[in-house]
């Protein structure tokens, strides 16, 4: 393995390695009168030599010990796959708390007036004989990234680190809470940014990229029935939540009509997908005009449960008419019309079976209610349309 700077001599890890000092080029930043931060770069695979994780636990006394949550294996696996892809980059720094065994030695130069930073070396003791809890550094933020670097099939991976010297565990825990309590980026903002990216992303985001591209096209095309209907950071006046549309698209891309146009070899046929979606949702808007383009609190059609459930109905109609290619707008309308009298998008009660009547606005955007509504619509469709058409053919 390379040294801490990713270059030069290898570092042999064995019980015969003696105590030594690691000297890293660093910048000290003075914050106020008594606070100092240290910024430096180091091979992420080398960090466990002098830092550890303070796991949250209950001491025998009943007090809280440590502060870090357990490793999240799925999150670590996503980061690891990204790290093993071509040209990965992690720009956000790991945050580490050191104890007073770590020292900073400024370079031999005079500081200029108004400067907040000082160039020098951070001196860190390395002792292979120390137990984890006795090491001079603790990870305050970035344990999942470090675990991914540890597991990744890479010889080394330089990482940026921001550190501070903490007087005790209480101060470490305080900084941990402050660092991790800041509000994360809204998912809607991330989803809206995805179509404009081309780099390899963690698996979870990679799966969202194409559906997000479809959503953007539906929401921005003036010919689309969903034009400006989807609420996003750049379209805050939309009435349908972006995540509801994404779920509908993901379901169909996985096992519905959109899957037919998602050729693995040649790539997705987005134009055909958009054609299906536009025809279906335009038919929906015409069959249920009083429930269309209203806020979800006034129309369960524009609610998450309604959007996802109608997506399954789109797949079922397309499957029934598969022999005719992409169903026309009129074909979608003809298959939707028999359902108009059993849908309670804006008032009344959903008649879901004996003893199962639910007020129209009691349908919630939960997995249970989405499945309940989806099954109801599909059963009604098969009884009122599919079975009758088969009988007519017979």
- Note the pLDDT tens digit of each residue in 352-382: 878 789 999 999 999 999 999 999 999 999 9
Answer whether 75's CB lies under 8 Å from 144's CB.
yes
Which pLDDT does position 7 carry in this prediction? 43
Concatenated DSSP letters of 64-95: EE--BPPP-HHHHHHHHHHHTSSS----SPEE
Concatenated DSSP letters of 100-120: TT-EEEE-SSPPPTT--EEEE
- For CA atoms 251, 256, 258, 259, the dihedral sign is positive
pTM score, whole prediction: 0.66
Answer whether 126's CB lies under 8 Å from 19's CB.
yes
* Bridge partner residues of 21 (DSSP): 125
Q: Quick check: 4 pLDDT over 80?
A: no
Q: Exposed (0-12), middle (13-18) or buried (19+): which is 299, by Cβ within 10 Å?
A: buried
Those residues with Cβ within 8 angstroms of residue 358's Cβ, 6 or more apart along the chain or in another chain = 349, 350, 352
User: Who wins on pLDDT, 322 or 362?
Assistant: 362
Please report where in the chains the tokens 């801490």 appear, as a residue. Answer: 4
Those residues with Cβ within 8 angstroms of residue 348's Cβ, 6 or more apart along the chain or in another chain = 359, 360
What are the two backbone dihedrals, phi and then psi, of residue 104, each rounded to the nearest 5 degrees? -115, 130
Band of the pLDDT at 347, cuts 50, 70, 90? very high
Strand residue runs (E) in the chain: 20-31, 35-43, 51-52, 57-58, 64-65, 94-98, 103-106, 117-126, 137-141, 158-165, 230-231, 240-241, 262-263, 267-268, 349-351, 357-359
CA dihedral 222, 225, 231, 237 (to 10 degrees): 70
Which pLDDT does position 200 carry in this prediction? 72
Which pLDDT does position 8 carry in this prediction? 37
How many whole angstroms separate alpha carbon 293 and alpha carbon 295?
A: 7
Answer whether 50's CB lies under 8 Å from 124's CB.
yes
How many whole angstroms separate alpha carbon 279 and alpha carbon 272?
A: 11
Calculate mean pLDDT across residues 12-20: 57
Half-sphere exposure of 348 (CA within 13 A, CB side): 10
């Amino acid at each position: 393995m390379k040294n801490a700077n990713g270059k030069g001599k290898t570092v042999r890890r064995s019980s015969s390695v003696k105590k030594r000092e690691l000297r890293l080029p660093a910048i000290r930043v003075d914050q106020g009168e008594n606070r100092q931060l240290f910024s430096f770069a180091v091979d992420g695979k080398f960090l466990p030599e002098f830092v550890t994780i303070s796991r949250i636990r209950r001491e025998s006394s009943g007090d809280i010990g440590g502060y870090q949550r357990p490793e999240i294996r799925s999150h670590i696996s996503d980061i690891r796959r990204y790290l093993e892809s071509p040209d990965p980059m992690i720009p956000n720094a790991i945050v580490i708390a050191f104890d007073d065994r770590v020292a900073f030695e400024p370079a031999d130069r005079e500081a200029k007036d108004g400067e907040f930073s000082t160039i020098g070396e951070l001196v860190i003791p390395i002792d292979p004989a120390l137990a984890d809890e006795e090491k001079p550094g603790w990870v305050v933020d970035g344990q999942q990234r470090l675990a991914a670097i540890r597991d990744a099939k890479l010889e080394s991976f330089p990482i940026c680190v921001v550190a501070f010297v903490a007087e005790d565990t209480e101060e470490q825990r305080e900084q941990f809470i402050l660092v991790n309590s800041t509000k994360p980026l809204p998912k809607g903002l991330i989803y809206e940014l995805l179509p404009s990216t081309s780099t390899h992303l963690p698996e979870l985001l990679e799966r969202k990229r194409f559906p997000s591209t479809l959503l953007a096209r539906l929401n921005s095309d003036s010919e689309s029935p969903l034009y400006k209907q989807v609420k996003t950071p750049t379209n805050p006046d939309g009435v349908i939540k972006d995540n509801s549309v994404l779920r509908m698209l993901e379901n169909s891309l996985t096992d519905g009509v959109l899957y037919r146009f998602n050729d693995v070899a040649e790539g997705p046929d987005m134009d055909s997908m958009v054609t299906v979606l536009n025809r279906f949702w335009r038919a929906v808007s015409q069959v249920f005009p009083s429930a269309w383009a209203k806020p979800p609190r006034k129309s369960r059609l524009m609610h998450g449960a309604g959007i996802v459930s109608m997506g399954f109905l789109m797949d079922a109609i397309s499957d029934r008419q598969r022999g005719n290619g992409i169903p026309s707008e009129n074909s979608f309308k003809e298959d939707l019309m028999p359902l108009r009298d059993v849908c309670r998008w804006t008032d009344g009660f959903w008649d879901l079976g004996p003893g199962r009547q639910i007020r129209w606005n009691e349908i919630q955007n939960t997995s249970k209610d989405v499945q309940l509504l989806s099954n109801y619509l599909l059963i009604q469709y098969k009884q009122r349309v599919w079975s009758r058409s088969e009988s007519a053919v017979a």
